[in-house]
Structure 1
Amino acid sequence: MKRESAGGVRGWRPATEEALYGPSGFYRRPEGPAGHFRTSVHASPLFAGAVARLLCLVDEALAHPAELAFVDMGAGRGELVTGVLKALPAEVASRARGYAVERAARPAGLDHRIEWLPAPPADVTGLLFANEWLDNVPLDVAEVDAEGTARLVLVREDGTEVLGEPVAGAEAEWLARWWPLAGTPGSPLPLPEAPDGPPTPEDLPEEVRPPAAGLQGPAQGLHGPYDPHAGEGLRAEIGLPRDAAWAAAVASLGRGLAVAVDYAHFAGARPPFGTLTGFKDGRETAPVPDGSCDITAHVALDACALPGARLLSQREALGALGVSGERPSLALASTDPTAYVRALAGAGEAAELTARGGLGDFGWLLQPVGIPDPLPGGERPST
């Protein structure tokens, strides 16, 4: 890739910030995100129902406070917070207060109980839930050049990329710890060969060994001695801004639980060429930072995790919250055909939310604040 340091190009982080959240940015378009892609929230009301059950578990852990907050980070048009409030039992709903955190303007007709904010409220008690928020926190991209040096990737408004200055400072430290680019001098990771299947927990560093460590991306095999040209073209997304954004969101909670749900990858199984991409009109497309499309990259959730966190898959989390894709008994079809059809439809929606190779492989990062982890099931990573 051509190397360039001036004139008409910017790093991916400022380019994405403007393209997504600027005055004419993608997230200010009138159709909203749901006009271009579908999240778990849009796939089925079962998702909001499961989050409502999680809020009830948090309520129990908090000993039923007078005011119970539900904070929806990256709220879109308020679909999740609306669904959660609707699904709560009456007694919990009477104490619940919804907050939608979003840069776009408040949509017309939104439930009056929902407060619309540009940043999470301070010192609230309850559940902060970030569904597919972190993947849209802008970050910079690094790529290994022909000499084995990791450089910032610069981009023009039409999506054309060039290489800029070497990665340095805190960004270089983050890469060295969380996403070492194999083939660069001093890299502790081997150069990649052909994938040989998902890693086992024993393949991963002990401090990031959650049961969901293989959620995405194959393990990488061993390679020979250092060869700078073998690493050329390898890419990484520098997740430092996401770590900081998540830490700030967690810090806004006085007591409760913070949850991030997203496309994820973990140490030992980082995608060798990164994940930066675009979405428009329901299809994946080239990431062009002109405001016409969503620009997203999968999240290094293990790097975001703070002490006491737990990492698991959406399949595990929703299973613990009662979402099952199990088909209803055929006996129900003969006794109550209408109920059978409803149960069958619900099972299909649950199956989509928990599917392997799809939404079920999303990562869930659970971060308790001042309470025990309220979600049953699963295991904790060794820390």
Structure 2
Amino acid sequence: MRREATGEWRGWREATEEALYGPSGFYRRPEGPAGHFRTSVHASPLFAQAVARLLCRVDEALGRPGSLAFVDMAAGRGELVTGVLAALPADVASRARGYAVERADRPAGLDHRIEWLAEPPKGITGLLFANEWLDNVPVDIAEVDSEGVRRLVLVRRDGTERLGEPVEGADAEWLRKWWPLPCEEPHAASEGPHVPPERPHPASEGPHVRPEGGHALPEGAQAPAEQAHAPAEGARAEIGLPRDLAWASAVSALDRGLAVAVDYAHVAAARPPFGTLTGFRQGRETLPVPDGSCDITAHVALDACAVPGGHVITQRAALRALGVSGARPPLALASTDPAAYVRALASAGAAAELTAPGGLGDFGWLLQPVGVPADLLVDVADHEEQ
């Protein structure tokens, strides 16, 4: 681990909070998140249109209430809420109210009908949608030391790290339940999808993968039981309890409706052995340095976030069920209506990006119904690919 540096030692959660959301934090920068990475919202208007169709389904399940809320968590510069409201049918749009929840200041020129808030309003009826929010809820990092003890990782402003005190209390309990060491009793495997550790970015060279190390066993040999279950020195985990609490708080804002969290994620059966903490700047992955110069993010244990009744599926399954298909238009259309063919081809390409295996299509969607039938989106789950 890197040692030579000056400055205060802090846990990653505290350091990330200041680096992202402090007065000079990354998310206070004028260019906004879209200046550094591209989410599904930025990839194509098809995404906002699909979310608008989901809001219409929620509207039907709620019996067409007089006021229908759409809450955009971590709204960036309001791109998603703007696109969703614009895509609604007139009868739904007349009853819809848009809320953008974001710590940064309200951007100039945003539709005056959209309320800009620091927290979601309470007692709402409708759809709360959190696209790539939870991955930026700061968390502490735990690392296994040479004696097999999980310790907090401390960091300085320049990214220098060292190990601190052993993880204790509620954080230690969360790790035992949701991210156990090989020697600990594992949590029952989640039914949610394994989401590969990728975050598509323009001009990105792909995520850095830290090698696991070690030596291969001779062919046919088996590791001794005590070695197979021994904690691996250097193994890391992100302590996801703050995200669980943040999600539960967001869901509590709903009186009735549906809450959806979309993120690049992993589940109990396939936690990454060295964690996923990383940084992004100007479309490229970089070392996570908590000085406000880059995004600091880590994948989300969505199965841990889910409150009772929640279910995790892939973005590919959800979007296909909501009418987003990457199928090419019939070639005959090129002869009868060339312009329509070109438009349909472009739409198919955008849909393919949003649903691509190994990319955006593998993101997890945590569906959390509140006061509506649990099978509200059963047809979405039925599209899940095995």
TM-score of the aligned structures, taking structure 2 as reference length:
0.89
Runs of 4+ in 1 over 3 A off after TM superposition: 1-4, 220-224, 226-230
Please, which of 215, 220, 234 is the counterpart of residue 195 of structure 2?
215
Gaps of 5+ in 2: 198-211, 217-221
Other-structure match for 2:185: 188
Deviations 1:326-383 (A, max 9, x none): 00000111111000000000000000000000000000000000001422232599xx
Deviations 1:298-341 (A, max 9, x none): 00000001111111000000011000000000011111100000
Q: CA deviation at 1:205?
A: 2.8
Distance 1:379 1:148, change over 3 A: farther
Q: CA deviation at 1:78?
A: 0.1
> Which amino acid in the other structure matches residue 216 of structure 1?
P
Whether the aligned pair in 1 keeps the contact of 2:70 and 2:96 (CA below 8 Å) is: yes
- Kindly report which structure 2 residues correspond to 1:245-256, keeping only aligned pairs within 5 A, or say none: 245-256=246-257
Other-structure match for 2:65: 65
Deviations 1:245-287 (A, max 9, x none): 0000000001000000000100110000000000000000000
TM-score of the aligned structures, taking structure 1 as reference length:
0.90
Whether the aligned pair in 2 keeps the contact of 1:147 and 1:229 (CA below 8 Å) is: no
Q: Does 1:360 align with 2:343?
A: no
* Mapped partners of 2:248, 2:336: distance in 1: 52
Give 3-state SS (helix, strand or coil) of 1:180's partner.
Answer: coil
Give 3-state SS (helix, strand or coil) of 1:365's partner.
Answer: strand
Q: CA deviation at 1:231?
A: 0.5
Deviations 1:115-172 (A, max 9, x none): 0000000000000000000000000000000110000000000001100000000000
* Mapped partners of 1:82, 1:354: distance in 2: 22
Distance 1:119 1:344, change over 3 A: same
Other-structure match for 2:294: 293
> Which amino acid in the other structure matches residue 172 of structure 2?
A
Give 3-state SS (helix, strand or coil) of 2:285's partner.
Answer: strand
Please, which of 357, 376, 379 is the counterpart of residue 374 of structure 1?
376
Other-structure match for 1:275: 276
Whether the aligned pair in 1 keeps the contact of 2:26 and 2:295 (CA below 8 Å) is: yes
Gaps of 5+ in 1: 190-203
* Mapped partners of 2:223, 2:98: distance in 1: 52
Q: Give percent identity, aligned residues only.
A: 74
Other-structure match for 1:234: 235
Whether the aligned pair in 1 keeps the contact of 2:320 and 2:383 (CA below 8 Å) is: no
Other-structure match for 2:322: 321
Whether the aligned pair in 2 keeps the contact of 1:73 and 1:130 (CA below 8 Å) is: yes
* Mapped partners of 1:224, 1:56: distance in 2: 56
Distance 1:334 1:374, change over 3 A: same
Whether the aligned pair in 2 keeps the contact of 1:75 and 1:102 (CA below 8 Å) is: yes
> Which amino acid in the other structure matches residue 331 of structure 1?
A
Give 3-state SS (helix, strand or coil) of 2:109's partner.
Answer: coil
Give 3-state SS (helix, strand or coil) of 1:128's partner.
Answer: strand
Q: Does 1:330 align with 2:312?
A: no
* Mapped partners of 2:163, 2:3: distance in 1: 4
Q: Does 1:132 align with 2:132?
A: yes
Q: CA deviation at 1:110?
A: 0.2
Whether the aligned pair in 2 keeps the contact of 1:144 and 1:181 (CA below 8 Å) is: no
Range that drifts further, 128-137 or 222-231: 222-231
* Mapped partners of 1:320, 1:147: distance in 2: 49
Q: CA deviation at 1:224?
A: 3.2
Q: CA deviation at 1:8?
A: 1.6
- Kindly report which structure 2 residues correspond to 1:1-383, keeping only aligned pairs within 5 A, or say none: 1=1, 8-182=8-182, 186-188=183-185, 205=188, 208-210=190-192, 212=193, 214-216=194-196, 223-227=223-227, 231-372=232-373, 373-375=375-377, 376-378=379-381
Whether the aligned pair in 1 keeps the contact of 2:3 and 2:161 (CA below 8 Å) is: no
Give the count of matched residue pairs.
358
Whether the aligned pair in 1 keeps the contact of 2:97 and 2:113 (CA below 8 Å) is: yes
Q: CA deviation at 1:181?
A: 2.5
Distance 1:226 1:3, change over 3 A: farther
